[in-house]
Structure 1
């Protein structure tokens, strides 16, 4: 009788060791057999994996760069194949794209949602099926995903507000805000943070409009605002293409030298925000990392290494002005 408990205990210990090696214990996966975690999805380095990447809208240069960064990072991992889908800023199409990835039985989903609420249900569906989900840049409602990777948009907005109040218009002034797509979390957070950043200053937001992250729409909105507010002194845009659109509207009106423009994204490409700051079209921008490399790192950890990943991964930002634009651009392209 004394030997039986010892034998059961030994067997249990062996099973625990085997589970640990496969990455299915709560220590390795974070939630054990919970949906969307490591476990059945992870076959180790001998497996081959298809990743579905659902992009909100590649017409935005930032999102095309995100896809490019994902493709480049995945190319270094022979076990990975990435299938890309472009929702073209259409919530219904993005839901359909994700449903198609489920039908294809992808091993992991990366998604940058067009808007949060309309994409929440289908993301939860994928996660509940046991497929790991990396939510990139823009959030969904709730927490039915494996990991979120992105910058702190509220803090970026806050820094933009402080820069406007302390450096661009230290004596106060009247400004306009060109916002991103209304249902996307970065638009809400960049607006909230900016309001916090200018709080206590003499800066007044006299006009605001949605540019939906697009240069052409940002230019059209800025054109209307400039006509309605001839005493405007600056424009805060939620991304660099809309800030450049606002600059073009001001230039067409002969007012580009009278106004200052702040954007966000800071893409290190010839047509990106860093070069726009270097050339003097924008007063400042803020680096907004695409997270492409980090998304593939997370996929490798989950699918190949059978490891846990953090629920939230916050990426850093940096203020770009004419003083440091050249250095930041060169550094970003030195690798």
Structure 2
């Protein structure tokens, strides 16, 4: 080890002047500090952890247009109000990578005590997340991932498993005799979109009669899902089902099919399963969607983890937390809605 070698050299040079010895000792001290430094620890300019203190949390949201993200923001704000000293500022990237990078840069400049981020896309946000983390700001990555592991913790669902569960539902229950399926995926470049696509393809393998005839991105947005479905129906009018990677796009696809007068011939599924009046669980109960899958926002869990880091001074938090979900059909929709606190 370099430091040990320096100490041995120092011991052999006992005849040198005291001033030179002090210089070497100073080098040793600096080297030891650099070796022990934790890249994820708080910088000296930020507030130290502990009770009875004020902490600022920056929440960098990919967009506020999706109902799922609005609920996530609300979950974070409500949970933060229950922690004395916590204040949360939410920024809206509006699905713009450059804007989100700039907003995170602003949080770094403001020296927030902790950053929560749900990245619009993984790769474009990786470096600025690393910059915050390396600069001493604890970073909780929520729902969508970044590349690498330069962050304090990730909280989210297992999107590959969710996609696979939906695929298996198609293969065994919804389309046991096979069928032509259109996939409406999320924003290209976001990890849930890629993982839900992969999982679904794996899930339908057990039934070779279930075939994906077209896949297009609806960018997670209802109006985009409707536009995609309008186009799809022109080229593929004889489809049996729409696998949508979230509930708003599924609702948009349903509206497009209804406009074409074919909504009763096609089965629609989504993912999110929000327990709100306009959410996917109600859409299942009301018959527009055949099924959805509960995808927890992780907002409450992120604030609890922030409390462990900032208030409880816990340094050994879990690096990855996978949140459980649940398939929702007409058989259990009312029960799940109540269980999740819907009213």
What's the TM-score, normalizing by structure 2?
0.87
Residues 151 and 316 of structure 1 are in contact (CA less than 8 Å); yes or no, is this contact kept in structure 2? yes
Distance in 2, matches of 1:102 and 1:62, equals 26
> What's the CA shift for 1:35?
2.0
Distance 1:36 1:280, change over 3 A: same
Counterpart for residue 70 of structure 2: 64
Residues 185 and 215 of structure 2 are in contact (CA less than 8 Å); yes or no, is this contact kept in structure 1? yes
Distance 1:334 1:263, change over 3 A: closer
200, 211, 218: which one pairs with 2:225?
A: 218
Counterpart for residue 331 of structure 2: 323
Distance in 2, matches of 1:213 and 1:153, equals 14
> What's the CA shift for 1:334?
6.4
> What's the CA shift for 1:78?
1.5
Distance in 2, matches of 1:210 and 1:91, equals 17
How is 1:1-335 mapped onto 2 (pairs within 5 angstroms)?
33-37=37-41, 42-201=48-207, 202-307=209-314, 308-333=316-341
What whole-Å deviation, never above 9, does each CA across 1:162-214 have from its counterpart, x for those lacking one? 00111110011111000000010000000000000001311110011100000
Residues 68 and 274 of structure 2 are in contact (CA less than 8 Å); yes or no, is this contact kept in structure 1? yes
> What's the CA shift for 1:229?
1.0
What whole-Å deviation, never above 9, does each CA across 1:227-246 have from its counterpart, x for those lacking one? 21121000000000001111
Distance in 2, matches of 1:309 and 1:84, equals 24
Residues 143 and 156 of structure 2 are in contact (CA less than 8 Å); yes or no, is this contact kept in structure 1? yes
What whole-Å deviation, never above 9, does each CA across 1:294-328 have from its counterpart, x for those lacking one? 00011000001011210000000000000111111
> What's the CA shift for 1:42?
4.0
What's the TM-score, normalizing by structure 1?
0.89
> What's the CA shift for 1:34?
1.9
Higher relative contact order (CA 8 A, sep 6+): 1
Aligned-partner SS, 1:286? strand
Aligned-partner SS, 1:199? helix
Higher mean alpha-carbon deviation, 132-141 vs 38-47, is at 38-47
Q: Which has the larger radius of gyration?
A: 2
In structure 2, runs of 5+ residues without a counterpart are 1-35
Distance in 1, matches of 2:169 and 2:342, equals 28
